[in-house]
A and B are shown apart, each in its own frame.
Chain A
């Protein structure tokens, strides 16, 4: 057995063990009464709350409501960013035209878009999708542009030599060629989309994990707040896993 590459099972066991130890310490600290449960609820309280919600049948609904908003905003951003990014990655003039706008949009957090989105879309679901969209569009675009730059220029030459026009090069070479990097970038962007869920659900949401967190805060139900946070993390872990499966299927051609 190579000491640099320990078996996967023992690595998994180490991770699992560290999680259990962490939870045990957390629970113990709360049990001793050192901390007021309003400031830090024990994991048992968080679990109990989650279980209660699952029994009521409301838990899944919260996750799905947020998932719907996150996925819609994310897909909209990806569907715009991918073709646009390929065009911008290919044409230096288009890039120069877009760069100032892109630099302006990039650092803006999703939360800063709340006032404008409320003015434009009111208290509709579209407003929520737009928050996620604005939080992910610019970084997604940057990822796609970067991906197009990593295409082997020889492939572009080969395509031109085989008669491809400018558009055909973009569609038949740059798009499929940058797809691996685009997909891995989109995985990151999807995680980013979930960080927008709280800002997205601040107004006119009745369910969702962001709503759960903020509403729990209003009523000082900190275990609900922590439950919401845990559910967001777990959901992102699951979507990551699903994404990787999709990657494997789409990128069959890689070694």
Chain B
């Protein structure tokens, strides 16, 4: 593990007019970490992700990814959106190969690479289907494959499984963990669900609202694989209860803040 962090967020603040979305966030994410951002709505999690990808610019402070400061949209931070954002006029294979096409990779090679990732997310046989013919879970898999095929340094996921049913979610969570273990990419994942955070993360950051900042930074020492046994263990409950209390306190605090 290298000393230099993959993502370095330095004194970042972001406000929109009078609304303070983020205040003085200082954060380092090391290479290979699976960081989960937890928190109530409106606490700036999505804003932070948008700043890392370069979709938006901080009002103050800066962000450095893999040694390069972020000042425009960079494919090195691949984003998986909650609404999938698949190109409806392209097949699964073409969607997955999109990033490579933008790089100018010739068709044959592109399809070869895309094929590999389509299979990696378990969609072999669906290469020539259009997104409109796929279920939500399958679409999200395509979205993940698309990002992976581009070989980014960092993968960012903004509540990617929130729109899916519980069973599909579970399947995809397992899939994501498998991919994480195999590729050892740096991942930043946003969720509302404490269980999801405990299941996936190596590190959890609890954020608060008004203004948005990191309140708690917890290392997730639960053993992998996080099977049923682990999920029923006392340590799991301990962590969950700790997080739950923190989150609750923050929700109370933000409710009080708004009632003024």
In the complex, what's the smallest C-beta–C-beta distance from A77 to chain B, in angstroms?
24
Q: Is the interface of A mostly helix, strand, loop or mixed?
A: helix
When distances are taken between beta carbons in the complex, the residues of chain B under 8 Å from A168 are: 102
Selected contact of A162 from candidates B89, B98, B130, CB within 8 Å? B98
Say whether B85 contacts A163, CB under 8 Å.
no
* A-side interface size class: 20 to 34
When distances are taken between beta carbons in the complex, the residues of chain B under 8 Å from A176 are: 87, 89-90
When distances are taken between beta carbons in the complex, the residues of chain B under 8 Å from A173 are: 87
Selected contact of A164 from candidates B78, B79, B83, B102, CB within 8 Å? B102
Say if the beta carbon of B136 comes within 8 Å of chain A: no
Nearest residue, chain A, Cβ from B132: A255
Say if the beta carbon of B73 comes within 8 Å of chain A: yes
Say if the beta carbon of A93 comes within 8 Å of chain B: no
**Roughly how many angstroms separate A179 CA and B87 CA in the complex, as a whole number?**
13
Chain A, residues 208-245, CB within 8 Å of chain B (1/0): the string is 00000000000000000000000000000000000000
Say if the beta carbon of B202 comes within 8 Å of chain A: no
Say whether B89 contacts A163, CB under 8 Å.
no
In the complex, what's the smallest C-beta–C-beta distance from A173 to chain B, in angstroms?
7
Say if the beta carbon of B150 comes within 8 Å of chain A: yes
Say if the beta carbon of A103 comes within 8 Å of chain B: no
Say if the beta carbon of B99 comes within 8 Å of chain A: yes
A-B contact pairs, 12 of them (CB 8 A): A155-B85, A155-B87, A157-B81, A158-B79, A160-B73, A161-B79, A162-B98, A162-B147, A173-B87, A179-B89, A253-B131, A253-B132
Say if the beta carbon of A4 comes within 8 Å of chain B: no
In the complex, what's the smallest C-beta–C-beta distance from B112 to chain A, in angstroms?
18
Say whether B102 contacts A162, CB under 8 Å.
yes
In the complex, what's the smallest C-beta–C-beta distance from A176 to chain B, in angstroms?
5
The residues in B between 51 and 98 inclusive whose CB is less than 8 angstroms from any CB of A are 53, 55, 73, 75, 77-79, 81, 83, 85, 87-90, 98
Say if the beta carbon of B141 comes within 8 Å of chain A: no
Say whether B101 contacts A161, CB under 8 Å.
no
Q: Which of B55, B78, B89, B101 has the most CB of A within 10 A?
A: B89
